[in-house]
A and B are shown apart, each in its own frame.
Chain A
Amino acid sequence: EDKVVQSPLSLVVHEGDTVTLNCSYEVTNFRSLLWYKQEKKAPTFLFMLTSSGIEKKSGRLSSILDKKELFSILNITATQTGDSAVYLCAVRLEYGNKLVFGAGTILRVKS
């Protein structure tokens, strides 16, 4: 069974802290790994990773994939209260464009 596991399940930090969110996966046919941010409504796309060791960066957020060890991390530096959200990791399978989601990490940034 295809599986995506995220850790921690929840996290509370103070503004300015750096956080690292983890995502590990076991799937039959891996194509890519995606990170989404979900606030009160539907998820918004952050990153798509297909190759190991190549960091994707967008402002204070960055992410990297390790296809040998089957995991990815999402880093957020200098956190702000606006970063409070659920961060979802999903793996796209090779056939049919299907996404398998992890349970998410609830991040709360306190001012």
Chain B
Amino acid sequence: GAVVSQHPSRVICKSGTSVKIECRSLDFQATTMFWYRQFPKQSLMLMATSNEGSKATYEQGVEKDKFLINHASLTLSTLTVTSAHPEDSSFYICSAHLAVGADTQYFGPGTRLTVL
């Protein structure tokens, strides 16, 4: 149990385009999902907390107009990187909070974004 999927696993796009990444909790409902960013050889940096049915809470320094988050259902959150630039190239990981049992976050497999 507690499986989280992400799609796509890898995306290459041109500068200026927008990219949408989906995060799904497959066998549980998650009222809260989190989006992280990880640069090579660095740890996970929380970008935003996504709550079902309400606006996301962004961490300091993260542009909410650039990284659009939608959490339309209890099993799906999306992150859209708008007008992507090469510096947005990174590994994006989502997690979903399972409130029962282990009461912890389970991570998706991540999405490798490369902006040319």
Q: Top 9 closest A-B pairs, CB basis?
A: A42-B107, A101-B43, A41-B109, A42-B110, A103-B43, A101-B44, A42-B93, A42-B109, A43-B107
- Contact yes or no, A97 B43, CB < 8 A: no
Judged by a CB distance under 8 angstroms, whether B115 is at the interface is: no
- Beyond the given A32-B104, A42-B6, A92-B104, please list 17 additional residue pairs across the A-B interface where CB-CB is below 8 A: A42-B93, A42-B95, A42-B110, A43-B107, A45-B102, A45-B106, A45-B107, A48-B102, A48-B103, A88-B44, A97-B32, A97-B97, A98-B34, A98-B49, A100-B46, A101-B46, A104-B43
> Which residues of chain A are within 8 angstroms of B95 by Cβ–Cβ distance?
42, 99
Judged by a CB distance under 8 angstroms, whether A34 is at the interface is: yes
A48 CA to B103 CA in the complex, in Å?
Answer: 9
**Separation in Å of the B6 CB from the closest CB of chain A?**
8
Q: Contact partner of A45 among B44, B104, B110, CB < 8 A?
A: B104
Number of B interface residues in the complex (CB < 8 A): 23
Task: Give 27 CB contacts A-B under 8 Å.
Answer: A32-B104, A36-B107, A42-B6, A42-B108, A42-B109, A42-B110, A43-B44, A45-B102, A45-B107, A48-B103, A48-B104, A88-B44, A92-B104, A96-B49, A97-B32, A97-B49, A98-B34, A98-B49, A99-B46, A99-B95, A99-B105, A101-B45, A101-B46, A102-B43, A103-B43, A104-B43, A106-B41
Interface residues of B (CB under 8 A from A): 6, 32, 34, 41-46, 49, 57, 93, 95, 97, 102-110
- The dominant DSSP class at the A interface is strand
For chain A, which range describes its interface: under 10, 10 to 19, 20 to 34, or 35 or more residues? 20 to 34
Judged by a CB distance under 8 angstroms, whether A18 is at the interface is: no
> Which residues of chain B are within 8 angstroms of A103 by Cβ–Cβ distance?
42-43
> Which residues of chain B are within 8 angstroms of A45 by Cβ–Cβ distance?
102, 104-107
Q: Contact partner of A88 among B43, B45, B46, CB < 8 A?
A: B43
> Which residues of chain B are within 8 angstroms of A99 by Cβ–Cβ distance?
34, 46, 95, 105
